[in-house]
Amino acid sequence: MRYAIAVDSSSDITSPDQLSLHGDDIQLGVAPLTIVAGGREFPDVETTDVREMVDFLESLHEKSSTACPSTGEWLAAFHDAAEVFGIAITSKLSGSYDAGIIAKETYERENPGRRVHIVDSLSTGPQMWLMAEKLRDLMREGLSFDRIREEIESYREKTQLIFSLESLKNLANNGRVNPAVAKLSSILGIRVVGRATEGTLDPFAKARGEKKALSAIVKEMHEKGFVGGKVNISHVLNEAAALKLKAMIEERWENAQVRMYPTRVLTSFYAERGGLLIGYEI
């Protein structure tokens, strides 16, 4: 087989159906991250019940942590493809990218002639999903390895991520955000709205209530130059807010193509109940 798309599970991609990979000569591989909490492990795979996990996490009074995929898990995600493209969660917050790079070196050494490129998404969740779809489209065109590498690196610059979080507790407990920023979200009803900038969290608004948070998201999209195009909204058990946001975006930009879906394990852990992640094209 010629191509494989390998993603880590922070992309919320768990199955080839999500990328509509039917009858394509493209394999999908997912390298799972894992949550370790209260003596249990929650691997980020399709069979893990996210709602049960979120309930369990909220009942715990101790810190829980996460682990990135191993090099072996990345290698498994490459399948046996001649040309592999991987997308990893931002290397500023996780070891996933580094594990992917070691897997690339191993794979290329053990399989002379095969090539792997791992993209540091500098982001996560729905922005990674957009990038995976872009890879699919480039592969369907049958482009060369070098062309796809160039195109996907430039597409990363044309996509953005916004988050709206009701709690930053797990991010702060695991040292992924400045505790002062996490404190902003400790007041009930306050959402911290921000963007991914250079691979880290960049909060830009403290919104009181859902309506203000959704308005801040739409305003940010406009200011960043969104003029219509793809938007992916993922939500942590918060379909109602995702639906409202989808309607607001579709009302303002009639050529927006908005998709919404629930977050999986890793993003549910860090974005926490109520959280929204928005990936969009500019």
Distances (CA, A) of 95 to 163, 181, 204: 21, 23, 26
Please identify, using beta-carbon distances, which residue of 62 and 254 lies nearer to ligand X90: 62
The three-class DSSP label of residue 159 is strand
The three-class DSSP label of residue 76 is helix
Residue 262, beta-bridge partner list:
235
Interaction between residue 191 and ligand X90 (CB under 6 A): no
Distance, CA of 181 to CA of 50 (rounded, Å): 26
Interaction between residue 54 and ligand X90 (CB under 6 A): no
Q: Which of 43, 95, 228, 229 binds ligand X90 (CB under 6 A)?
A: 95
Please identify, using beta-carbon distances, which residue of 90 and 159 lies nearer to ligand X90: 90
Q: How far is the CB of 193 from ligand X90 (least distance, A)?
A: 11
Interaction between residue 176 and ligand X90 (CB under 6 A): yes
Q: Which of 4, 7, 19, 68 binds ligand X90 (CB under 6 A)?
A: 68
Distance, CA of 52 to CA of 237 (rounded, Å): 11
Distances (CA, A) of 94 to 8, 91, 99: 11, 5, 10
Distance, CA of 172 to CA of 118 (rounded, Å): 28
Please identify, using beta-carbon distances, which residue of 81 and 103 lies nearer to ligand X90: 103
Distance, CA of 220 to CA of 114 (rounded, Å): 41
Q: Which of 48, 66, 160, 234 binds ligand X90 (CB under 6 A)?
A: 66
Please identify, using beta-carbon distances, which residue of 40 and 252 lies nearer to ligand X90: 40
Please identify, using beta-carbon distances, which residue of 29 and 125 lies nearer to ligand X90: 125
Q: Which residues bind ligand X90 (CB under 6 A)?
A: 33, 66-68, 89-90, 93-96, 123-125, 161, 163, 176, 196, 199-201, 267, 270-271, 277
